[in-house]
Structure 1
């Protein structure tokens, strides 16, 4: 019983950091596709919820602690601004599970002041989209024999 709880909790926590982990590791843990998709979406949305609401506090209190000269732009911050200007809220939410991490995407949209309702809606929609694509892609790769898990 405890091992089952730890298995689900571990995948959930990994999903909070990067949405690709549950689809990759879920089959090895013996989870079915629906469980993997639900864990992936739950982890993504937890990160989005936390970092969207804490984004302003993080921007004001945590970032100045680590960034010595907040007036200067780094390569990473310039890249984030470029992504935001080029793709907007829908593009950032689309790219968050794919390229960015859930905390990174949520902090980016919080930093630019995107409306929370839109952020939650688009993150949920694209989280569902990417988790289904990844889960069934891994499942397909296992079916054709390119991926194997010993269990």
Structure 2
């Protein structure tokens, strides 16, 4: 049950995985592995159905005559233009969510394999940092 909780939390909100793993007393490596696996499961699924979803969203916007650009979408495009897919991937675990970051990358037309590659290194990087931080902070609080 502990393992499933860490995995499932990481599919939706990345930070939840390391925090839950630390709180439940899981070690560094199992928590990191489940956190990365959870995020990558979301990325894999969303990037797979993403193109169809993007076309659907574009059609819905045209029908409702909703503006394409909002303040938030302009900021995302600025990050993408300046830092590319690496920037989106870097921000995904801490500011966005695995689903949100993948949707953004898909909307911006990034090929699926590039999305998967960039999200993987980001998940490993942030998973390691957040898991280490949560286990250290948890250890300090218990002593």
Shift of 1:115: 2.2
Query: What pairs with 1:24-35 in structure 2 (closer than 5 Å)?
Result: 24-35=19-30
Shift of 1:9: 2.1
Note closer, same or farther for the CA distance 1:137–1:74 as it changes in structure 2 (3 Å cut): same
Unaligned runs of 5+ in 2: none
Aligned partners of 2:44, 2:104: CA distance in 1, in Å?
A: 13
Aligned to 1:130: 126
* Structure 2 residue 68 is matched with structure 1 residue 81: no
Query: What pairs with 1:7-46 in structure 2 (closer than 5 Å)?
Result: 7-46=2-41
- Give the root-mean-square deviation of aligned CA atoms: 2.1
Q: 2:46 aligns with which of 44, 47, 51?
A: 51
* Structure richer in helix, relative to its length: 2
* Structure 2 residue 74 is matched with structure 1 residue 91: no
The aligned length equals 141
Aligned to 2:56: 61
Shift of 1:113: 1.3
Detail structure 1 runs of 4+ shifted over 4 Å in the superposition.
Answer: none
TM-score (normalised: structure 1): 0.82
* Structure 2 residue 103 is matched with structure 1 residue 107: yes
Deviations 1:60-111 (A, max 9, x none): 225728x933443222222221221122111111111121111111111111
Aligned partners of 2:91, 2:66: CA distance in 1, in Å?
A: 26
Aligned partners of 2:43, 2:131: CA distance in 1, in Å?
A: 20
Aligned partners of 2:25, 2:71: CA distance in 1, in Å?
A: 41
**Structure 1 stretch 24-33 or stretch 102-111: which is displaced more?**
24-33
Unaligned runs of 5+ in 1: none
